[in-house]
Chains A and B, each alone.
Chain A
Amino acid sequence: MKKTPLHNAHIQLGAKMVNFSNWEMPISYSSVIEEHNAVRNAAGIFDVSHMSIFDFDGGNQVAFFEKIFANDIKKISRDNKAIYGALLNEDGGILDDLIIYHANNKFRLVSNCSTRDQNREWYEKHAVEFGVKVIERSDMGILAIQGPEAMNKILAIKEIDAEANNLESFGCMFDGDRLYAKTGYTGEDGLELIVPNMAIIDLWNQALKVGCVPIGLGARDTLRLEAGLNLYGNDMTINNHPYESNLGWTIDMSDKNRQFIGKDALLAIDQSQSQKMVGIILRDRGILRSGYEIIHEQGKGVVLSGSFSPMLQSSIGLARVDKGYQENGKVFIRNKALNIEFVSPRFIRKVKMQP
């Protein structure tokens, strides 16, 4: 299994380690719920160095991203900003979701861990016609510092350029080869630090010293679920298009001349007939889990992600359901029909989803 530069640090902190897409990663250090609450109430730090990082060199990078990325890179290509969106295949199926950062005339891309090889090949294949060189940064890792006190903690870490405190939501900046960005996967304020492996241990130790609580992948999942953020592989796969994955807002067709991969397939979809991704709250006792079947007055559906929400103190989930759902439905848990409520997937509302 692959290890991040912080592997020993996790072991020393007593983390329970798990195999996550062939990376040995911390699932929790103390308790998932305690870690979750630390991020909601104070500040936590995550080692997410298993994510894939790519830089790009030369050629026409804007044109390259205009072609492969379903959101419009021109929204950020003149600013120091990040943009979230999907990588689609010709059929409009979601290959991955990713964030592209742009600052100091450089692009950096972060996508999922399990899709690393597929994406590298995809980028390389499509970069040729634009003369762009794809550089995988396996020499880098990512720390996320998140929570209402995250920015105060970051201010106390001397290693981090104080300018980072002035970043706005989805803003980003390079400090040498380090990228500091106001993005995250928790719904909280905070930064993601995309930095060389050599710098990670020191940054991690300094963050712990100023009071950031180490957070494992267990709480990362409950935090992102409360924030209504999709998990690739769970909530959407190559067999789903963006309109049934709550990603319609990331599809930008405002530039009529832009021909991105998957556009024609998306134009052929009748969105009024598509299934929809919704949030669900279980109103009876139990825990929602991926794969449970759902019915409502006019159709059916399935739970994609489900867990316990420490903030709502009940079970919540994301589901894909037929159109025509009203407020309530049923979910089948071990052959029992239990009551669910359909809600916005944004169970908590704190941070903007886009610049």
Chain B
Amino acid sequence: MKNIPGDLKFLSSHEWARVESDGTITIGISDHAQDLLGDIVFVELPEVGQALDAEADVAIVESVKAASDLYSPLSGEVIEINSLLEDQPEIINSSPYEDGWFFKLTPSDMSELDNLLSPEDYSEVCED
């Protein structure tokens, strides 16, 4: 069984979203995703201030083997990016839910959270 924290919401394309106490949303990729990708060697992040649509491709994550798109689980505005990933993208492999977060946004429509998968539903996606 993969490591799937209970306080997160997911897209079936393996992105997670966490609602922080200040109402902002942190976005990253799941443990399952980093395992599928293998060694991550490059990440291209959105820019602070950029407006995002839900499920639009907003970042690129590249492992040794291939490049993959990252989709934003929610619409909103990017308020912070994890600049640590620029020099140490391998953090995504070692800490996908904590140090390896991608970016934070202020959501434009919190009700979009209801469209996301619960940890239980996401774990079924990973089983397939």
Question: Which B residues are CB-close (under 8 A) to A31?
Answer: 38-39, 93
A287 sits at the interface (CB 8 A) = yes
- The A-contacting residues of B in range 4-55, CB under 8 angstroms, are 38-39, 41-42, 44
- Given contacts A218-B38, A285-B86, whether A32 and B64 have CB atoms under 8 Å apart is yes
Q: Does A222 contact B (CB under 8 A)?
A: yes
* Inter-chain contacts of A307 with B (CB < 8 A): 64-65
Residue B62 at the A interface, CB < 8 A?
yes
Interface residues of A in 264-286 (CB under 8 A from B): 285-286
Q: Is there contact, CB below 8 Å, between A308 and B64? A: yes
- Chain B residues lying within 8 Å of A315, measured Cβ to Cβ, are 41-42
Set of chain A residues within 8 Å of B65, measured between Cβ atoms: 27, 32, 218, 307
Q: How far is the CB of A28 from chain B (nearest CB, A)?
A: 6
282-311 of chain A: CB within 8 A of chain B: 285-287, 289, 307-308
A280 to chain B, nearest CB (A): 16
* Interface SS of A by simple majority: mixed
Q: Give the Cβ gap from B62 to chain A, nearest Cβ, in Å.
A: 4
Question: In the assembled complex, which residues on chain B have CB atoms less than 8 Å from the CB atom of A286?
Answer: 42, 44, 62
Contact status of A285 and B39, CB under 8 A, knowing A27-B65, A32-B65, A334-B60: no
Which A residues touch B56, using CB under 8 A? none
A61 to B39, CA, bound (A): 46
Most chain A CB atoms below 10 A, which of B39, B62, B86, B93:
B39
State how many angstroms separate the Cβ of A303 from the closest Cβ of chain B.
Answer: 13
> How far does the alpha carbon of A308 sit from the alpha carbon of B41 in the complex, in Å?
7
Cβ–Cβ < 8 Å partners of A28 in chain B: 38
Q: Which residues of B contact A334 (CB under 8 A)?
A: 44, 60
A-B Cβ contacts below 8 A, count? 41
Which chain A residue lies CB-closest to B38?
Answer: A32
Interface residue B67 (Cβ < 8 Å from any Cβ of A): yes
Interchain CA distance A110-B41 in the complex, whole Å: 33
Instruction: Count A interface residues, CB 8 Å.
Output: 16
In the complex, A286→B44 CA distance in Å? Answer: 8
Query: Is A33 an interface residue, CB under 8 A from the partner?
Result: yes
Complex CA distance for A289 and B66, rounded to whole angstroms: 8
- Least CB separation from A33: chain B residue: B39
A307 and B38 CA atoms in complex are apart in Å by 13
Within 8 Å by CB of A218, from B64, B67, B93, lies B64
Within 8 A of A (CB), among B61-116: 62-67, 86, 93
In the complex the two chains form, is A287's CB within 8 Å of B39's CB?
Answer: no
User: In the assembly, what is the distance between CA of A143 and CA of B86, in Å?
Assistant: 38
Question: A222 touching B42 by the CB < 8 A rule?
Answer: no
Cα A266 to Cα B41 with chains together (Å)? 41
Q: Give chain A residues whose Cβ lies under 8 Å from the Cβ of B39.
A: 31-33, 308
Q: How far is B62's CA from A28's CA once the two chains are assembled, in angstroms?
A: 16
Rounded to whole angstroms, the CA-CA distance of A28 and B23 in the bound complex is 40
Query: What is the CA–CA distance of A27 and B67 in the complex, to the nearest angstrom?
Result: 16
Query: Measured between alpha carbons, how far is A162 from B64 in the docked complex, in Å?
Result: 37
Assuming the A-B contacts A27-B65, A218-B65, A334-B60, are A287 and B38 also in contact, with contact meaning beta carbons closer than 8 angstroms in the complex? no
The residue from A32, A33, A222, A287 contacting B62, defined by CB atoms under 8 A apart: A287
Expressed in whole angstroms, the Cα–Cα distance for A125 and B128 within the complex equals: 47
Closest A residue to B43 using CB positions? A285
Question: Which A5-36 residues sit within 8 Å CB-CB of chain B?
Answer: 16, 27-28, 31-33
- Give the 10 A-B CB pairs with smallest separation, nearest first: A308-B41, A287-B62, A32-B64, A33-B39, A287-B42, A308-B64, A31-B39, A32-B39, A32-B38, A307-B64
Instruction: Known A-B contacts: A218-B64, A222-B64. Give 17 more (CB < 8 A).
Output: A27-B65, A28-B38, A31-B38, A31-B93, A32-B38, A32-B39, A32-B65, A33-B39, A33-B41, A285-B86, A286-B62, A287-B41, A287-B62, A287-B67, A289-B66, A308-B64, A315-B41
Residues of chain A at the chain B interface (Cβ within 8 Å)? 16, 27-28, 31-33, 218, 222, 285-287, 289, 307-308, 315, 334
B residues apposed to A, CB below 8 Å: 38-39, 41-42, 44, 60, 62-67, 86, 93
A and B contact pairs by CB, cutoff 8 A, 25 listed: A27-B38, A27-B65, A31-B38, A31-B39, A31-B93, A32-B38, A32-B39, A32-B63, A32-B64, A32-B65, A218-B38, A218-B64, A222-B64, A285-B86, A286-B62, A287-B41, A287-B42, A289-B66, A289-B67, A307-B65, A308-B42, A308-B62, A315-B41, A315-B42, A334-B44
